A = this chain, B = another copy of it.
Amino acid sequence: MGRKPTKIRVVPLGGLKEIGKNMTVIEYRDEMIIVDCGLSFPEDEMLGIDIVIPDITYIEKNKDKIKAIVLTHGHEDHIGALPYVLKKINVPVYGTRLTLGLVEVKLKEHKLTDVHLQRVDAGTTIQLGPFEVEYIKSSHSIPDACAIAIHTSLGVILHTGDFKIDYTPIDEEMIDLQRIAELGKKGILLMLADSTNVERPGTTMSEKNVGITFENIFGGTKSRIIVATFASNVHRIQQIVNAAYKHNRKIVISGRSMVNVSSVAQELGALTVPEGLIIDVNDIDKYDDHEIVIITTGSQGEAMAGLSRMATSDHRKLDIRAGDTVVISATPIPGNEKTVSRVINQLFEKGADVIYESLAEVHVSGHACQEELKLMHRLANPKYFIPVHGEYRHLKQHAKLAENLGMPKENIFTIQNGNVVEITKDYAKLAGNVPSGHVLVDGLGVGDVGNIVLRDRKHLAEDGLMVVVVTLTKENGKIAAGPDIISRGFVYVRESEDLIVEAKQVVKSALDMCEQQNTREWSVLKSSIRDVLKDFLYTKTKRRPMILPVIMEV
């Protein structure tokens, strides 16, 4: 083998120039660790796709070098691709208490049983080959979030994970700024830091602020209260629990992921609920309205989640009643604005009083705003910097922020997934690319839906389709049956009978023409049908349905 290379290579496989599927490979002395393993949700044009995961060609090729996957926290965009990745490379997974709790649930759903999960606590360090991986307490919108300091003989790499700086966190465990400062004082070689909120000036408010709003709402009404929030936001749930307890309300937990996460969090001690406070949904009618709080999913307006189902009377056990107070304790993720608005409208129409972010402080972000990012940069004071977790606009602004703090431009790497940053003790530079991209998951299919399938779905979605079927005789290519036409998603067939009759005639003429010219090549017949029909339909309707000619022979 010769001497092992004394370069660090940092290779992001996800999370750059996108929101989601965070995943970064760190290499040193021919060994690798992977930080996070997330999924992202499909873009609008990825029709029918369930989730998106990173392209892991590169780590599959290098699977013998991988020591472990280390997780910063338990959000889907950091752990969601694990079941898919672990099916390809079975390596140990490290994470904190709740992170692994959530991973376990996920692996169970995918029937993955032989994964080695290793719990790490904030403030401790694990040795993984040439990497000493130190977990550093952080703050985020999920408990047990950590930054990770990767100590190597070349220097320290600090990966902030997702973070905010909350001086009054719910669990009383502050982000360990002192340790970050200590590391910074000694010298950090490279920092990778969260860019999500870089466009927002000032600082993100403390989670405690939301608690105060809950106090006011819970104390100020005699009605039932329904709170929708992210299932993973356990600190938020803790504050709902606290307010409910204080105001003598029982809690009903609704929605599969809300039930799952809150029970895992309780088992692990990340959520503390007084005995008997949570009641079964079937017992709800034993209590008066002012004795009830329902905690549910659906804060993003997801059609299948608790809140939407209640709002549309599609929930088996719970319904929204006139006079209910509904709190949407979340902000719409970009792209969800309209679905959230629809649910708000439905709730108002049911006669509920709806409290949402534009009306009251019922949500705070989990990410650092500009002033917090500046603090992180000043404390860590890294030599090199890679902005991560963000679209290009965020990475770019984060780079600018670092520059404004005095970091030399050439020490900042505003890169994309697949880029390799090579670091030695003398320099850092871009050193080529590895395969990267997204893999679409649709049902059981992982990667079997690509651009052609999506293009067809888009075409079908826009203008529907027309199937033209004709049976020809083997002997002389004359029409034995048909042409028949079936359309879907194009026009109301009943109201467009004339159009279909005319279309058949157009097809027949085209086939007759081919016959006269003695053309019996199927591909030619099909493209004649497609061409004449396309022109005919566009002239008549200004639409371009997909045209599928089918020829059979008897």
Q: Does A341 reach chain B (CB closer than 8 Å)?
A: yes
Contacts A448-B495, A458-B461 given; does A442 touch B543 at CB 8 Å: yes
A48 touches B345 (CB 8 A): no
Q: Does A457 reach chain B (CB closer than 8 Å)?
A: yes
Residues of B within 8 A of A481 (CB): 471, 552-554
Residues of B within 8 A of A200 (CB): 358
Residues of B within 8 A of A199 (CB): 358-359
Residues of B within 8 A of A337 (CB): 334-335, 337
Q: Does A489 reach chain B (CB closer than 8 Å)?
A: yes
A489 touches B541 (CB 8 A): no
A541 touches B445 (CB 8 A): yes
Residues of B within 8 A of A458 (CB): 461
B391 touches A341 (CB 8 A): yes
Contacts A392-B348, A488-B456 given; does A463 touch B48 at CB 8 Å: yes
Residues of B within 8 A of A124 (CB): none
Residues of B within 8 A of A467 (CB): 467, 548, 550
Distance of A335 from chain B, by nearest CB (Å): 5
Q: Does A354 reach chain B (CB closer than 8 Å)?
A: yes
A393 touches B552 (CB 8 A): no
State the CA gap A471–B496 with chains docked (Å).
26
State the CA gap A467–B337 with chains docked (Å).
37
Q: Does A202 reach chain B (CB closer than 8 Å)?
A: no
Q: Does A465 reach chain B (CB closer than 8 Å)?
A: yes
Contacting residue for A345 out of B392, B460, B490, CB 8 A: B392
A488 touches B553 (CB 8 A): no
Q: Does A108 reach chain B (CB closer than 8 Å)?
A: no
State the CA gap A453–B492 with chains docked (Å).
7
A48 touches B449 (CB 8 A): no
State the CA gap A461–B496 with chains docked (Å).
23
Q: Does A321 reach chain B (CB closer than 8 Å)?
A: no
Q: Does A169 reach chain B (CB closer than 8 Å)?
A: no
Contacts A348-B393, A392-B349 given; does A457 touch B489 at CB 8 Å: yes
Closest to A544 in B: B443
B445 touches A44 (CB 8 A): no
B491 touches A449 (CB 8 A): yes
B542 touches A444 (CB 8 A): yes
State the CA gap A198–B361 with chains docked (Å).
17
State the CA gap A349–B391 with chains docked (Å).
11
Q: Does A501 reach chain B (CB closer than 8 Å)?
A: no
Closest to A481 in B: B552
Distance of A511 from chain B, by nearest CB (Å): 14
Q: Does A484 reach chain B (CB closer than 8 Å)?
A: yes
> Quick one: which of A454-500 are within 8 Å of B by CB?
454, 456-465, 467, 469, 471, 480-482, 484, 486, 488-492, 495-496
Contacting residue for A48 out of B344, B444, B462, B488, CB 8 A: B462
Residues of B within 8 A of A486 (CB): 548, 550
A445 touches B491 (CB 8 A): yes
Contacting residue for A448 out of B349, B465, B491, CB 8 A: B491
Residues of B within 8 A of A552 (CB): 469, 471, 481-482, 484, 552
Q: Does A452 reach chain B (CB closer than 8 Å)?
A: yes
Closest to A451 in B: B492
Contacts A349-B392, A543-B442 given; does A492 touch B338 at CB 8 Å: no
Contacts A48-B461, A443-B542, A548-B488 given; does A344 touch B393 at CB 8 Å: yes
Closest to A391 in B: B345
Residues of B within 8 A of A463 (CB): 48, 442
Q: Does A210 reach chain B (CB closer than 8 Å)?
A: no
State the CA gap A487–B450 with chains docked (Å).
14
Residues of B within 8 A of A341 (CB): 334, 391, 393
Closest to A480 in B: B554
Distance of A304 from chain B, by nearest CB (Å): 14
B460 touches A465 (CB 8 A): yes
Closest to A354 in B: B393
B456 touches A464 (CB 8 A): yes
Q: Can you list 6 A-B contacts with CB-CB less than 8 angstroms, sorted by A residue number? A: A199-B359, A445-B491, A453-B491, A457-B464, A471-B481, A484-B550
4 pairs of A and B residues whose beta carbons are closest in the complex: A443-B542, A461-B461, A460-B460, A456-B489
